[in-house]
């Protein structure tokens, strides 16, 4: 799977690390990336600190094909993601008229410098939108504000609020689909055996299929099986071969079931 | 808050990065640490790869007072956390008779080398348990196996299954309570103002109370307020002072409500 494009995610916010808010965007992005054939390799969560965020953006964007940040994009003192991305790339922040005019249209006479701070983005920012057929609307106080997804080089800068984060993913998907990467596929095998007994059988299939990612997950009390085994890859026939080869080594009566 | 002990968390598992499983242990640990007065500063999530995990354990355990790992502690090929911790500290893995005898007692004649692999831990591992008054039991196939929490230097090595992870936290709490750190406290203020209008007021309170962590969180559609402001610290009187000072700058009719 060395040929799959790679990605990292940077989760930003004191409220996540203090446990005030339960993080909810990672699993949504992870599933989308998998369906797009992009391999999510690392996730980092940090506090609202410019130097820390800039350092991580610099490292993660260099070491992966794509970086997705979540959080810290509002207008207040604790929203420092865009300033940090600018610092990571050594570019300035500039006010973009395309965004400022959206804000003035939305807030009208009540538009303040605080609101307009949302139009300040790193130099070279690209606006990614599916506006034509699927408007990216952010709802504020019951009214809708069209707002594009922000892309700075290979870094998608996404908002932390889960409902808005998910809205922005339609634009992300449209962009990544252009890569034409093959989706990951997964087969699952359910057994009544425990991991201690399965270990030698798993070691054998792992050795025979180095291109397939084999996972083993013990069930918790009450599940209708004891251990779930997963076989993942981007070549559907190899994935099926690995699952078949493993099942052929199981004793009578196993596996209990398979998916798909 | 510079005097608070610090912590990091390392989440391990291909199943988390592929989106097959939604991570659930972080928020539980984060809340416990906050109540114990320990500041969680960074979370990293990585794949089941020894070199990657060892590198992160080395960095995170050096830069924080405590590190908590979650996942990768079973007996199969994808359970590489303990081997990685050993590599990070340059120590060997050894079989500990205390654990091996628990496994033999539990599995009896069916105990295999695969099961006994669970008794292999890094040299110098400490077993932390509240067994006397609160037995740390892991339930396997409807039967209970007493099992301590694993501590290697300043690294708690915890299991990924949420129910078992939470069971181990009682031993962690007992250990960290000995530090005698003061818990963090939080006050919340709810307003009908948006962040654009709040920004200058927030900037003022942030400047006046550098020891207080001020957060601003816009509500999503349907909430009974527009923006929630939080004031956090370990000195309850300073937290209250900051929230009071901020509220005194709000216009008539605000705040909408306060907690506590």
pLDDT of residue B144 exceeding 80, the answer is no
CB-nearest partner of B199 from A18, A75, A140? A75
Cβ-count burial of B7 within 10 angstroms (0-12 exposed, 13-18 middle, 19+ buried)?
buried
**Do the Cβ atoms of A215 and B27 come within 8 Å?**
no
Nearest residue of B to residue A200 by CA position? B114
Cα–Cα distance list, B254 to A103, A198, B139, B189, B229 (Å): 25, 62, 52, 9, 12
Which of A13, A24, A30 should we substitute to test contact with B (largest number of B Cβ atoms within 10 Å)?
Answer: A30
B140 pLDDT tier (thresholds 50, 70, 90): low
Q: Are strands B6-12 and B66-70 parallel, antiparallel or unpaired?
A: parallel
Beta strand spans in A107-184 (E): 120-122, 126-128, 137-140, 143-146, 149-152, 155-158
Q: What pLDDT, on a 0 to 100 scale, did the predictor assign at position A141?
A: 64
pLDDT of residue A138 exceeding 70, the answer is no
Model confidence over B18-53: pLDDT tens digits?
999 999 999 999 999 999 999 999 999 999 999 999
Count A/B contacts: CB-CB distance under 8 Å.
189
Model confidence over A36-88: pLDDT tens digits?
999 999 999 999 999 999 999 999 999 999 999 999 998 888 899 999 999 99
Helix (H) or strand (E) holding A39: strand A39-46
Q: What pLDDT, on a 0 to 100 scale, did the predictor assign at position A130?
A: 67
In angstroms, the CA A116 to CA B150 distance is 51
Provide the residue count of chain B.
260
**Do the Cβ atoms of A196 and B22 come within 8 Å?**
no
SS3 A152: strand
Tell me the shortest Cα–Cα distance from A2 to chain B, in angstroms.
14
Give CATH 3.30.70.100 domain extents, chain B.
185-259
In angstroms, the CA B39 to CA A240 distance is 46
**Do the Cβ atoms of B19 and A27 come within 8 Å?**
yes
Could you tell me the pTM of the whole model? Answer: 0.92
> What topology is assigned to B6-177 in CATH?
Molybdenum Cofactor Biosythetic Enzyme; Chain A (3.40.980)
In angstroms, the CA A52 to CA B242 distance is 26
A181 φ/ψ angles, rounded to the nearest 5 degrees: -75, 150
The pLDDT mean for chain A works out to 91
Q: How far is CA A157 from the centre of its chain?
A: 12
Mean pLDDT, rounded, for B147-164: 93
Cis preceding-peptide flag for A260 (omega within 30 of 0): yes
Residues of B whose CB is below 8 A from A16: 30
Q: What pLDDT, on a 0 to 100 scale, did the predictor assign at position A9?
A: 98
Percent of chain B with pLDDT over 90: 72
Residues of A whose CB is below 8 A from B213: 14
Question: Which range is least confidently modeled, A54-63, A83-92, A137-146, A232-241?
Answer: A137-146
**Residue B247 contacts residue B189 (beta carbons within 8 Å):** yes
In angstroms, the CA A247 to CA A255 distance is 7
ipTM value for the complex: 0.91
**Do the Cβ atoms of B26 and A23 come within 8 Å?**
yes
Q: What pLDDT, on a 0 to 100 scale, did the predictor assign at position A137?
A: 63
Model confidence over B216-254: pLDDT tens digits?
998 877 788 999 999 999 999 999 999 999 999 999 888
Q: What is the DSSP letter of A65?
A: S
pLDDT of residue A1 exceeding 50, the answer is no
Give CATH 3.40.980.10 domain extents, chain B.
6-177
Q: What pLDDT, on a 0 to 100 scale, did the predictor assign at position B130?
A: 67
Percent of chain A with pLDDT over 70: 94
Token pair for B57: 């354990």
Nearest residue of B to residue A44 by CA position? B44
Model confidence over B76-131: pLDDT tens digits?
888 999 999 999 999 999 999 999 999 999 889 989 998 999 999 999 999 988 65
Q: What pLDDT, on a 0 to 100 scale, did the predictor assign at position A178?
A: 85
**Do the Cβ atoms of B76 and A202 come within 8 Å?**
yes
A185-259 carries CATH number 3.30.70.100: yes
């Amino acid at each position: 799977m060395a040929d799959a494009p790679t990605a990292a995610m940077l989760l930003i916010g004191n409220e996540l690390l203090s446990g005030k808010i339960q993080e909810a965007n990672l699993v949504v992005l992870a599933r989308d990336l998998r369906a797009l054939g992009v391999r999510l390799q690392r996730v980092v969560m940090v506090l609202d600190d410019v130097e820390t965020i800039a350092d991580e953006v610099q490292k993660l964007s260099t070491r992966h094909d794509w970086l997705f940040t979540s959080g810290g994009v509002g207008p207040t003192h604790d929203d420092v993601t865009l300033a940090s991305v600018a610092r990571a790339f050594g570019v300035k922040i500039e006010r973009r008229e395309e965004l400022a005019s959206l804000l003035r249209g939305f807030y009208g006479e009540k538009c303040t410098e605080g609101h307009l701070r949302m139009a300040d983005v790193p130099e070279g920012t690209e606006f990614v939108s599916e506006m034509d057929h699927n408007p990216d609307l952010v709802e504020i106080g019951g009214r809708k504000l069209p707002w594009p997804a922000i892309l700075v080089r290979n870094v998608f800068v996404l908002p932390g609020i889960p409902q808005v984060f998910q809205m922005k993913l339609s634009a992300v998907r449209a962009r990544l689909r252009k890569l034409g990467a093959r989706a990951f596929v997964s087969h699952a095998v359910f057994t009544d055996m425990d991991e201690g007994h399965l270990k030698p059988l798993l070691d054998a299939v792992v050795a025979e299929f180095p291109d397939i990612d084999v996972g083993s997950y013990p069930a918790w009390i009450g599940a209708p099986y004891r251990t779930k085994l997963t076989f993942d890859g981007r070549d559907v026939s190899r994935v099926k071969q690995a699952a078949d080869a493993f099942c052929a080594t199981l004793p009578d009566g196993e596996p209990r079931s398979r998916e798909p």
